[in-house]
Amino acid sequence: MSYQAVVRDSDDNLIANQPVGMQISILQTSATGTAVYVETQTPATNVNGLVALEIGAGTVVSGDFTTIDWSADTYFIKTETDPTGGK
């Protein structure tokens, strides 16, 4: 699943041309629901602060992306970003 985001720091400045740490969770039923899949990735932003990644292709923390039954429920994407690259 393709995903894009613009990354900014706490002062709303673009984080450009550097790696950022991201944790992506797929939550079931609601935006505060149970995480059925969690992964981490360290994509690099471009000059505009944009990251592009493929959910399901990161380092798995828990769950199995390929076994999510998308027709069985409502799912939400939660992203957490560390602008320092996850260090």
Name the pairing type of β-strands 34-41 and 21-28: antiparallel
| Tens-place pLDDT, residues 32-57 | 999 999 999 999 999 999 999 999 99
Q: Could you state, in order of their start, the residue ranges of all structural domains in the chain?
A: 2-82
Backbone angles phi, psi at 65, to 5 degrees: -55, -35
| CA torsion angle 75 26 19 46 (round to 10) | -20
Q: Is the pLDDT of residue 29 over 90?
A: yes
